[in-house]
Amino acid sequence: MKILVTGGTGYIGSHTVVELQAKGFEVVIVDNLSNSSSDIVEKISEISGIIPKLEIFDLTNKDLVADFFSRNNDIVGIIHFAAYKAVGESVNKPLLYYRNNIESLINVMEGMQTNGIENIVFSSSCTVYGQPDVLPVNEQAPIKIAESPYGNTKQISEEIIQDTVKSSNINAIALRYFNPIGAHETALIGELPLGVPNNLMPFITQTAIGIRKCLSVFGDDYPTPDGTAIRDYIHVVDLAKAHVIAIDRMISKNMKDDLEIFNLGTGNGYSVLEVINSFERVSGLKLNYQIVGRREGDIIQVWADPTYSNEELGWKAEMGIDEMTNSAWNWEQFLSKKK
């Protein structure tokens, strides 16, 4: 069964391709390589033994998308990762984010309608909840006004999907990710941030390996036990596995609604200092960090209530914080040996 994975050479996409292949799915990747590289397909095949097909083009190009679907109308499902994801950049370049993230989704869904493809899994984010009033946050929590254009593209995309499933044969599952970190156990694929990382985990590992001098911890005056902000970090392989279950659920017609929404988190919140402690524990290193002011736009704390995903999908995040930080560290060390 053929699955289209858009953004399949990216961080979460590449791990998902590996898990799909392990379950016997045939994968075709579409990616414009704006934040990844084509040699990821070889790394994927080193893990799985199968080279996924890769087509390099931009999903905002309607004609190319239509042409792709006309050649691939045997696709049974789509996992749509392709999107820009840097919160700060989206504040400075909102139109870039709206055009890229929204137009590509519309083109993909039009292609589905034209070619009778019924199933799409969409990469959403816990950012849609903003700072939730109740923790842990479940899927019924209200959507808050987006804190960034990036976050808004996720909200708008969910709305576009909701409207489209009502008026067509398309079924959708939106997966709301908490904070994905870590890398594949083979250290052949992982996160490859361009330039200075925005996210915590790659900044920690790059500081430890000597690429960055010092990690800035953004704020220690939050109303949390140690004063630093709390997130629900989830291992990228656990996250990837949920996508395979979701696509399988759609193909097997086990959905309870035309659009289903699931939180993908562990249910455990860790503070920035707890993540640093875990990293120091597994690596045996002392991390150079300093406390600085809060980062604009950051929320205080969020962690998932994963009960609905656990019960409905029969999925549960398995890896703990030390396994996550350890795999991120292995990956950074592997990257440094390559250079």
Which residue from 3, 112, 272, 317 is in contact with ligand UD1, where contact means CB under 6 A?
Answer: 272
Q: What are the C-alpha distances in Å from 81 to residues 16, 65, 123, 159, 166?
A: 10, 15, 6, 17, 22
The residue whose two tokens read 């905002």 is 60
Q: Does residue 200 belong to the site contacting ligand UD1 (CB under 6 A)?
A: yes
Question: How far is Cα 184 from Cα 161, in angstroms, rounded to an integer?
Answer: 31
Q: Pick out residues in 231-250 that bind ligand UD1 (CB under 6 A).
A: 231
Angle at 34 between CA 29 and CA 38, to 5 degrees: 50
Q: Does residue 179 belong to the site contacting ligand UD1 (CB under 6 A)?
A: yes
Stretch of residues binding ligand UD1 (CB under 6 A), selected from 16-24, 76-84, 278-286, 294-302: 294-302
Which residue from 218, 280, 310, 312 is in contact with ligand UD1, where contact means CB under 6 A?
Answer: 218
Helices (H) and strands (E) in the chain, counts: 11, 13
- State phi, psi for 306 to the nearest 5 degrees: -90, 15
Q: Which is nearer to ligand UD1, 119 or 224 (CB)?
A: 224
Which residue from 100, 127, 205, 224 is in contact with ligand UD1, where contact means CB under 6 A?
Answer: 127
Stretch of residues binding ligand UD1 (CB under 6 A), selected from 31-39, 134-142, 196-204, 234-242: 196-204
Q: Does residue 216 belong to the site contacting ligand UD1 (CB under 6 A)?
A: yes
Q: Which is nearer to ligand UD1, 51 or 134 (CB)?
A: 134
The residue whose two tokens read 């120091």 is 280
Which residues in 227-265 are b (16+ Cβ under 10 Å) and which e? ebbbbbbbbbbbbbbbbbbbbbbbbeeebeebbbbbbbb
Stretch of residues binding ligand UD1 (CB under 6 A), selected from 11-19, 33-41, 80-88, 100-108: 80-88
- State phi, psi for 121 to the nearest 5 degrees: -105, 130
Q: Which is nearer to ligand UD1, 54 or 86 (CB)?
A: 86
Which residues, other chains included, contact 195 with Cβ-Cβ below 8 Å and sequence gap of 6+?
none
Catalytic status, residue 150: yes
Q: Which of 11, 84, 150, 233 is catalytic?
A: 150
What amino acid positions are annotated as catalytic residues? 150
Interface positions with ligand UD1 (CB under 6 A): 85-87, 125, 127, 147, 151, 179, 198-200, 203, 215-218, 229, 231, 272, 295, 298-299
